[in-house]
């Protein structure tokens, strides 16, 4: 998906506003997350298509590799598309990903 659809200048925004700019930085962000976590199961709903892009709802069971703790995470990925390429992705988390976050 990344090779075919990501813009070289993609911006990836996580949760409360941390952002990575450019394909190399986003690939490093993803590799770092995968080095710390193991996905035990996952599902996706969508896409939900709009005028400027689409959204997908993800649900993942994740095991933290340092502690062994398992968590069920839900997030919405919102993808902005220009000229057939994803130029921005933003992930919005459910309350299980960030305890204390309003739902």
Tokens of 17: 């506003």
Mean pLDDT for 25-29 is 96
Q: 40-81: per-residue pLDDT in tens? A: 999 999 999 999 999 999 999 999 999 999 999 999 999 999
Note the pTM of the prediction, 2 decimals: 0.86
Mean pLDDT for 8-13 is 97
Name, of 14-23, 48-57, 88-97, the range with top average pLDDT. Answer: 48-57
Query: What is the per-residue pLDDT for 100?
Result: 38
Tokens of 39: 């996905």
């Amino acid at each position: 998906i990344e090779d075919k659809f990501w813009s070289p200048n993609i911006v990836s925004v996580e949760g409360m506003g941390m952002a990575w700019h450019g394909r190399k930085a986003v690939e490093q962000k993803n590799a770092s997350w995968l080095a710390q976590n193991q996905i035990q199961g996952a599902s996706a709903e969508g896409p939900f298509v709009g005028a400027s892009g689409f959204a997908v709802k993800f649900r993942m069971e994740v095991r933290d590799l340092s502690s062994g703790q398992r968590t069920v995470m839900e997030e919405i990925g919102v993808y902005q598309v220009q000229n057939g390429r994803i130029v921005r992705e933003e992930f919005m988390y459910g309350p299980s990903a960030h305890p204390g976050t309003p739902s």
